[in-house]
Amino acid sequence: MKTAGIIIIGNEILSGKVTDINSPYLCQELRKLGVEVQQIITIPDISEIIGRTAVDFSGRFSWVFTSGGIGPTHDDITVSSIAKGFETELVESPRIIQDIQNFHGDKMTAAHRRMAMIPEGSELIEYAEGRGTQLQFHNIFVFPGIPEYLQIRFSGIKDRFRTTPIVLKQIYLKGDEGMIAESLDATMESFPELMLGSYPKVAGKDYDIKLTLECRDSAYLENAFNFLYERLPEECVHRVE
C-alpha cells in the first residue's frame, strides 16, 4: 500500500487570510490513484519546523507533497529549509536558471535567481511541454502554493503515483446511526481490512446516512458489502451505488 503525507506551508493559512484548497485537491486525486493520504499538517514559515517536518514525513510515508514557500520573496524558504533539515548543500540548477531567463529575460533579478537553488541530488521532472520543471528531493515533491500552478504540475506527473486502485461501494439509508451501529461493528469485526465510513446527511439530501465501503480487493469488498447489507434493517435502505 502506497501512502502519502501532505505538508501545507504558510503563515497565511494559519492566520486565516487564505483558505487551503490544495490539500483537499491532493487527497481527492491521490485517492483516485490508489494512494492513501495518512496525514495532513499545516505549518508556519519557520525554517526549523519545515525542515524537521519534511524529514519526519519522508521517513514515514511513501510520498510527501509540500505546498507553498517556493517563490522569490523573504518568506519563500521551503527549499532551503528542506535542504537544511536533511543536512544537504544547496546548488544552483543550470536548468532552472535557463527557465527563469526564458520567462523573465533581462528582467531577471537576484531574487529570481535564488529560486534556482535546490538541494544537491534533487531530480527535476518534466511535467508539461514549454513549462518549467517539478522539483523532487528524495520522496518529497515540492509544489507551489498557488492552487492553479499546483494542479497543473500534479496533473503532469500524477501517473507515477498510480497503484492498486481503491474500490468503492456506497449505501444510502433512511434512519439514524443508532439503528445500524451494531451492524457496522459486526462488519468491521468480520472484515478488518475494510475501510468503512458512516456519514450523516448534508442538509437537503434525500437520505439520512451514507455508508462508504472501500477496499483494494474487489472480492473482499463484495463479501463485506453482502455481509453488511444482510444485517441492515430492510426499511432503512434507500439506494445502493
* Stated pTM of the model: 0.89
Q: Cell digits for 85? A: 533539515
For the chain, domains (ranges, CATH) are: 3-161 (3.40.980.10), 167-240 (3.30.70.1130)
Q: Residue 59, exposed/middle/buried by CB under 10 A (0-12, 13-18, 19+)?
A: exposed
pLDDT at 102 over 90: no
Q: ∠ CA(65), CA(84), CA(72), 5° rounding? A: 70
Residue % of the chain over a pLDDT of 90: 83
Query: In the prediction, which pLDDT does 128 show?
Result: 84
The tens digit of pLDDT for each residue in 38-97 reads 999 999 999 999 999 999 999 999 999 999 999 888 889 999 999 999 999 999 999 999
Using left for φ > 0, alpha for ψ between -120 and 50, and beta otherwise, residue 208 falls in alpha
CA atoms in the 13 A half-sphere facing the CB of 65: 28
**More confident of the two residues 106 and 181:** 181
Q: Which residues pair with 37 in a beta bridge?
A: 4
